[in-house]
Amino acid sequence: MSKNKNKEKNSDISLGDDFLDDLLNTSNQTEPTKKESNNTLVNESMDTKTDVDSDTRLINSLVLKNLKELRQLAKEKGLTGYSKMKKDDLILILSQPVEESIQAVTVKEEERDDPLPISRPTQKSKKAVEKESFTAEELMQENQDEKEGDNWILSGPPTLNDPTSVRDPVDILTQYKDERGKTIVTDKLLGSIKKRFNSISEIATLPKITELVSLSGIGEQTAQKIWRVAQQYHQMNAKTAKTLMRQKKDANKCSTGSVALDELLGGGIEAKSLTEFFGEAGMGKTQICYTAAVNALLQKSEGGFEDYDPKSAQRPRVVWLDTESTFKSERIVEIVKNRYPNKDPDYFLDNIIYYQILSTDMLQNAIEEVFKMPDKIVLVIIDSLMAPFRFEFSHGISELARRQNKLQEILGIIKRNMQINDPAILVTNQATTKMSMAGAMSITSIIAAGGFAVAHAVTHRIKLSKKSAGKNKDVVLRKATVVDSPYLSSGEAEFVLNEEGIADFDKGISKTKSVSSKYTTSIGKDIESEEDIEDDILA
């Protein structure tokens, strides 16, 4: 039995190596377009192939070396700052030319010394210096102006409302004293802490105290005291299982726009939970997000998370993190006009905060800043979660560990802050294929991308697929299926896409207006076969 397992494991590893070679050759090798290509083209192709073979051998040789040997190579190359680097980073840097390696190490040192790295605007992002984020209405106006070349990059949270007190503000720390009766947190230290944290709960849930230590004016001993006080304060909120059950039952929920889908989700999209919708392109993942974003801004009686005073500065807001550049403000306007004709679309546009995400670092920085906002954030949408990871870590097995570590770090930030700040997290995810053997036959199934890192982080995982509407050939049903949830029952729900976002379907006729195929998207491929290797190895 163990021998068979070892054979399967070795097969996976060899498959990964072949895949890496194919990837390098595919991305770099130049092929002549015609048989009659001249000698110059032939020579260039041969030179490129030689370079690729050399790069492949170099990477393979570096992977086989231990950390000490890699650091020795870095020393011989004349690099600095390599002593504190991990093996994966050293392999990546040593596989580059000397000039690029030195530059990469310099950047790595800057990132390490910066406790909270921010995304720095490029020369094209002049507006980002003046404005760090923008509402959906401003985004629509920007698109209408057709100003090409502006590259929106975020570097901090927007201050949209006047700051208000949280349930456990860090100011409380000034009331605590050590065993000698000396105040632990002075006004000067409090100022430094407030630059990074809003609440005591944020400090208490830190996995390490390194972030506290890195703050100006806070030594390790003081940080230990602050961390201990924060944890004691946080533990005072212990509750019985009965209380927890009542709170879960009374948890705020937002309508998806479909009664059937709401029932499948136990009442709608749940606050303090991470709900994931995954599937192939064109299944309606983004359309669910559009409809949820609109409904989240309604009163509770209308399908929103909670009741609020429309005149209050603490009205609900939605944050949209767009990793695929597919968000359209016009779609929000269309949904509001068709679903709620008596409401002003500008209200919804003003309260949807849009972020364009171009990298995994930008995603992490944006998430950290979102949870520091003084605004009442009721829903955070990430569309889609794995897109920047697939683009950024696209060189196969050699980058798998780094990708998963980064992914787990970001998911950890989301999970911690989700419990502290109470928003609902709604993410879309791309799909991948997984092959399994059933006797002599191989079966291919559609699964969510991201491997176990994402699977363990999500609260509710919902798979989207298409289904025939029977006699009504003009309508294509979408089917939502509960794949994984700690307490939702297994089941399915059917809905359609139309002018109102998503809607129920009854007896072959939409309960709302006519269905159109224009609301499906197929930008790029949501299913990528190379992901199979990564997810199989993770599994």
Span 241-257, average pLDDT:
84
Task: Specify the DSSP class assigned to residue 396.
Answer: G
CATH classification of 255-538 is 3.40.50.300, yes or no? yes
Residue holding tokens 């989240």? 296
d(CA 268, CA 424): 11
Residue 17, classified by CB atoms within 10 Å of its CB into exposed (0-12), middle (13-18) or buried (19+), is middle
Return the closest-CA partner of residue 101 out of 69, 123, 122, 70. Answer: 70
Write the DSSP symbol of residue 172.
Answer: G
Provide the residue type at 264 as one letter. L
Predicted confidence (pLDDT) per residue in 68-94, tens digit: 777 888 777 777 666 767 776 677 677
How much is the pLDDT for 366? Answer: 94
Better-scored residue on pLDDT, 379 or 58: 379
**Which residue has better confidence, 89 or 163?**
89
Global pTM reads 0.62
Q: Which of 3-17, 124-138, 206-220, 341-355 has the highest mean pLDDT?
A: 341-355
Q: Cα separation of 382 and 259, whole Å? A: 23
Categorize the per-residue pLDDT at 214 as very low, low, confident or very high, splitting at 50, 70 and 90: confident
Angle between helices 67-76 and 87-94 (to 10 degrees): 40
More confident residue, 458 or 33: 458
Does residue 355 register a pLDDT over 80?
yes
For 17, 37, 206, 277, 370, the CA distances from 413, given in Å and listed in that order, are 33, 54, 9, 20, 11
pLDDT per position as a tens digit, 176-205? 877 788 888 888 888 888 877 877 877 877
pLDDT of residue 440: 58
Sheet holding 509-510, edge to edge: 134-135, 352-356, 316-322, 376-383, 424-429, 274-278, 460-468, 476-484, 492-498, 501-506, 509-510
In b/e form, how buried is each residue of 117-134, taking b as 16+ CB within 10 angstroms? ebbebeeebebbeeebbb
Query: Which of 347-351, 367-371, 434-438 has the lowest average pLDDT?
Result: 434-438
Q: Which residues of 87-101 are buried (b: 16+ CB within 10 A; e: fewer)?
A: ebbbbbbbbeeeeeb
398 secondary structure, DSSP code:
G
Judged by DSSP in three states, 362 sits in helix
Q: Which residue has the higher pLDDT, 170 or 509?
A: 170
| Calpha distance 177→183 (Å, rounded) | 4
**What is the structure's pLDDT at 237?**
63
**pLDDT band at residue 15 using 50, 70 and 90 as cut-offs:** very low
pLDDT computed for residue 429 by the predictor: 95
Residue 223 clears pLDDT 70, i.e. is over it: yes
Give the model's pLDDT for residue 398: 77
Instruction: Tell me the pLDDT tens digit for each residue of 402-459.
Output: 888 999 999 999 998 888 888 999 999 999 887 765 655 666 688 999 989 999 999 9
Is the pLDDT at 133 greater than 90, yes or no?
Answer: no
Residue 77 has a pLDDT of: 76
Highest mean pLDDT among 101-105, 110-114, 140-144: 140-144
Q: What are phi and psi of 327, to 5 degrees?
A: -70, 135
